[in-house]
Chain A
Amino acid sequence: MSHVFARRAVAAVAVMALALAGCSGSGDGKPGANAANSSITVFNGANGTILENWNPFSPTQLQPTNGMIYEALFWYNLASDAAPQPMLGSTYAWNADGTELTVTTRDGVTWADGQPFSAKDVAFTFDLIRRTKAINATGLKLRSSVAKDDKTAVLTFDAKSFTDEASIVGHTPIIPEHVWSKVPDPAKTINQNPVGTGPYKLKTFSAQSFVLEKNSAYWQPGKPQIQNVRYISLATADAASAALTAGQVDWMSSFLPGLDQLLKNHKELSYVNTPVLTASVFTCSNVALGCAGPQTDPAVRQAIHHAINRDQLNKLAGGGFAATASPTLLLPERDQKWITDPAHVTIPGAPDVAKAGQILDAAGWVKGADGIRGKGGQRLSMTIQTVTGWSDFISLNDAMAQQLKEAGIELKPAQVSWNEWNNNQVQGKFQLSLDSIGLGANNNPYHTYQAKYATVTTAKVGETASTSGNYARYSNPLVDSALQAAAGTNDEAAQKAQYAIIQKEIVRDLPYIPIYVNSLLTEFNTSRATGWPTNENKYALPASWKIWDNGIVMANLRPAK
């Protein structure tokens, strides 16, 4: 169960219904009487033993490293369509070619050890990434990184790098030159005494729990107000729900079935739902790249799209918390400005079996004696895989199999281990597969579209597609050229015109059939701290496992009175 839970915590999803009581009201911004010893406890999905690793470049870093301790130049709020918010940077500008980025840094910031922060630290950070391949996780094509003065850093690139903007300014932790210039191997250090600019710094650490304490020299005046933040590790959803209702956890993001019922008698507990990950049926869609099966016929994919009853799926598998998805694979609410055709903003919740039937009839799929359609000796029958133990996805499969039978489509659910499921997707050895569309680096659809629909991110069946890439084996020259055009500019209007082309193609071809936007439930205890994000005020993605955003949330909390 550990991996289900980890997935829940890391990649949970969907909508919510309840307005938050008590979160937004109180605080007047003044530290309460108990501010000096205020303390909250966070469960960020860690299970088992915790090992110390505060290296902001390490893939196995402890989750609060980025956001709580280290900060980036800017911060992207993936819960809304807001512009990037200045953090350590104040402005940035590209040259016309997209090969040179000039960043102006914030004044009056100090490192937690008292040394002043300057543009030299920024230049050092990117130069270190340029020199050290192992920490260049997003593959920035840096040519040089220099500080023109204490307030200006200039980065130059070997190639046009508009599309790396979010990675550069939003997802690169800035580190102090005076500390890291003495680190021999920046990829492998565990950075035991982290020195950052963020709102918190390390206080105590043990393998079961660690505590961060307030950075009193933080550059945002009056923040943070909570003195100590404790992180704990729990093994199962059952343990998490028990700890939450017993008042031992103040902030966690776990999908808990029957959440309303669990919290019924606990006035101090509330939750917020910020759906961002779209649960979708991935199809191996391209005969030319080696896919086989009825799902290679776009008519079949369209028919599935119309025949599934999303309202019922949400009720049975999504706990009623899932939000409506868009056939463009963007988020209807957050990304509305990027969805060009109003008809493609949302998918109706009710099924349209008649329409599915018409589409299949027109494509020559005829109903057989057992009610399942067929064409030229091929039965309209497909296997859909998901991972053993992912109970909501298993329920989705069971329910969809039942629903699609009415349209004459047979679905055979299969459960496999995470390894095999992942390997099948990467290699294209599947017919249908249930998965989620992940978060992009920022809200620009480019990141999703490039990863999921570009020919360069796919491969023939049997060969390895890029990670989280185009597992559907979709390949469309129109989409490829539109993506290339969008990457060549940072003018949003010009990009939008290209996305219109892409959306028209993918809504027709549907290599990924969206089901719903899965819930992302975050539970709070308001008896010790207030000021949590609410449905009305999603000032950050509230998930306790999210990097960057957790620093924003913590800086905004106030001790409860």
Chain B
Amino acid sequence: MTADTVALTAPVTRRRPTWPPLTAKLAAGLILGGAVVLFGLLGPLLVQDPSRVGDIGLAGPSGDHLLGTTQTGQDVLAQLAYATRGSLIVGAIVGVLTLLLSAFFGIVGAYAGGWLDELFSLFTNIVLVIPGLPVVIVISAYVPDKSLLLVSLVLAITGWAGSARVLRGSTLSLRGRDYVLACRVAGEKRWRILAVEILPNLIPLLASQVVFAVIFAILGEAGLSYLGLGASGSFTWGTMLYYAQNGLALRLGAWWWFVPPGLLLALFGAALSLINFSIDEIINPKLRSQTRASRRGWRMSSEQLRKAKESTL
């Protein structure tokens, strides 16, 4: 529909991917995100069985249970560790699938051009206008045994189209650049032009699309689980919140059950957003030039101001 406007506004020059400068935003994002990932990887090895019930239900945080217990005396910290792993798995699967699908339909189509581009673009646009969550709900209502993998698959299938459209826009604009035309004239093979000349320039854009896909997948899974339509028998932040909500955790004052999964999800999402800010600045250098910190450097100090005032008076 309007893919070309994206291209118009995201000028890409020929350059190899550069690592973003380590700004405070990026550092904070990496540290937060890394901590959550580490918790998801190592946490489950260190905690007790998250399903193990106990006789002390709805107990607040204590030495035995650092984050208290659920209604049935299960350890919230243990559940949180497993849930983190589950949600990260969903994010990872959807991230990879979105990368593959959107790259295939977005980049390959736009690069090949002609009827293939028309076809891919039509397909992408159709998937885009078919609303995601209702489809997910309808599909999950029909499919009986929902594994984490299935939920991720469904989320990926309904979620890749937006990225594909953005990538198509950029590829179209790159394809028309002089240096690409030059390569063609020089007789470079088409796949080589795509792989060596075009793809590297799309990496930052791909990265930012994947990061978005991961955030939306984790949020989407949480939403599905909250509606009771998530993966069966697995722990994710969403299922934890679902059980906490079902157990009226908030109304019974059991914040230690309701708050941590949501907070962790929010933190992880925020970390990814911070990373994305930095990637955005590579894609669009105009965003990079003037941060507030750098502007402050240009500003006249109060002493200079005073002097300037005096001199003009």
**Direct contact, A vs B (beta carbon within 8 Å):** yes
Is B66 an interface position by the 8 A CB rule?
A: no
Residue-wise interface mask of B (172-204) relative to A, using a CB-CB cutoff of 8 A (1 in contact, 0 not) = 000000000000000000000000000000000
Contact assessment for A415 and B232 in the assembled complex, using a CB-CB cutoff below 8 Å: yes
Instruction: State A395–B69 Cα separation when bound (angstroms).
Output: 14
Is B125 an interface position by the 8 A CB rule?
A: no
Is A377 an interface position by the 8 A CB rule?
A: no
Is A413 an interface position by the 8 A CB rule?
A: yes
Contact assessment for A2 and B228 in the assembled complex, using a CB-CB cutoff below 8 Å: yes
Instruction: State A420–B71 Cα separation when bound (angstroms).
Output: 27
Contact assessment for A261 and B252 in the assembled complex, using a CB-CB cutoff below 8 Å: yes
Is A267 an interface position by the 8 A CB rule?
A: no
Contact assessment for A257 and B71 in the assembled complex, using a CB-CB cutoff below 8 Å: yes
Is B146 an interface position by the 8 A CB rule?
A: yes
Contact assessment for A242 and B251 in the assembled complex, using a CB-CB cutoff below 8 Å: yes
Contact assessment for A262 and B53 in the assembled complex, using a CB-CB cutoff below 8 Å: no
With contacts A1-B246, A4-B228, A389-B246 known, is A399 near B252, CB below 8 A?
no
Stretch at the interface among A223-231, A310-318, A532-540: A310-318
Residue-wise interface mask of A (410-444) relative to B, using a CB-CB cutoff of 8 A (1 in contact, 0 not) = 00011111011001000000000000000000000
With contacts A1-B242, A4-B246, A417-B144 known, is A241 near B55, CB below 8 A?
no
Which residue from B144, B242, B247 sits with its C-beta under 8 Å from A420?
A: B144
Contact assessment for B248 and A238 in the assembled complex, using a CB-CB cutoff below 8 Å: yes
Chain A residues lying within 8 Å of B57, measured Cβ to Cβ, are 315-316
Contact assessment for B246 and A398 in the assembled complex, using a CB-CB cutoff below 8 Å: no
Contact assessment for B248 and A399 in the assembled complex, using a CB-CB cutoff below 8 Å: no
A:252-306 near B, CB below 8 Å:
256-258, 261-262
Chain A residues lying within 8 Å of B232, measured Cβ to Cβ, are 388, 414-417
B:237-295 near A, CB below 8 Å:
242-243, 245-248, 250-252
Chain B residues lying within 8 Å of A316, measured Cβ to Cβ, are 53, 55, 57, 71-73
Is B118 an interface position by the 8 A CB rule?
A: no
Interface SS of B by simple majority: loop
Which residue from B72, B144, B246 sits with its C-beta under 8 Å from A237?
A: B246
Instruction: State A391–B230 Cα separation when bound (angstroms).
Output: 14
Chain A residues lying within 8 Å of B71, measured Cβ to Cβ, are 257-258, 316, 391, 395
Contact assessment for B228 and A241 in the assembled complex, using a CB-CB cutoff below 8 Å: no
B:28-55 near A, CB below 8 Å:
51-53, 55
Q: Which residue of B lies closest to A317 (CB)?
A: B72
Chain A residues lying within 8 Å of B248, measured Cβ to Cβ, are 237-238, 241, 256-258, 262
Tell me how many residues of B have a C-beta within 8 Å of chain A: 30
Is A3 an interface position by the 8 A CB rule?
A: yes
With contacts A257-B71, A258-B58 known, is A238 near B245, CB below 8 A?
yes
Is B145 an interface position by the 8 A CB rule?
A: yes
Chain B residues lying within 8 Å of A237, measured Cβ to Cβ, are 246, 248
Which residue from A4, A238, A256, A389 sits with its C-beta under 8 Å from B250?
A: A238
Chain A residues lying within 8 Å of B246, measured Cβ to Cβ, are 1, 4, 237, 257, 389, 391
Contact assessment for A391 and B228 in the assembled complex, using a CB-CB cutoff below 8 Å: no
Instruction: State A399–B246 Cα separation when bound (angstroms).
Output: 18
Chain A residues lying within 8 Å of B144, measured Cβ to Cβ, are 416-417, 419-420, 423
Is A358 an interface position by the 8 A CB rule?
A: no
Contact assessment for B242 and A389 in the assembled complex, using a CB-CB cutoff below 8 Å: yes
Is A24 an interface position by the 8 A CB rule?
A: no
Instruction: State A242–B245 Cα separation when bound (angstroms).
Output: 13
Is B233 an interface position by the 8 A CB rule?
A: yes
Chain B residues lying within 8 Å of A416, measured Cβ to Cβ, are 144-145, 232
Instruction: State A414–B145 Cα separation when bound (angstroms).
Output: 10
Chain B residues lying within 8 Å of A1, measured Cβ to Cβ, are 226-228, 242, 245-246
Contact assessment for A395 and B228 in the assembled complex, using a CB-CB cutoff below 8 Å: no
Instruction: State A531–B252 Cα separation when bound (angstroms).
Output: 29
Known A389-B228, A401-B51, A423-B144; further 15 A-B contacts with Cβ < 8 A: A2-B227, A2-B228, A238-B248, A238-B251, A241-B248, A241-B251, A261-B252, A312-B55, A317-B72, A389-B246, A391-B246, A402-B52, A413-B233, A414-B232, A420-B144
Write the residues of chain A forming the contact surface with B, with a CB cutoff of 8 angstroms: 1-4, 236-238, 241-242, 256-258, 261-262, 312, 315-317, 388-389, 391, 395, 398-399, 401-402, 413-417, 419-420, 423
Q: 3 closest Cβ contacts across the A-B interface?
A: A420-B144, A415-B232, A389-B228
Task: Return 13 A-B CB contacts under 8 Å, by A number.
Answer: A238-B248, A241-B248, A242-B251, A258-B58, A262-B248, A315-B57, A389-B246, A395-B71, A398-B51, A398-B53, A416-B145, A419-B144, A423-B144
Write the residues of chain B forming the contact surface with A, with a CB cutoff of 8 angstroms: 51-53, 55, 57-58, 71-74, 141, 143-146, 226-228, 230, 232-233, 242-243, 245-248, 250-252
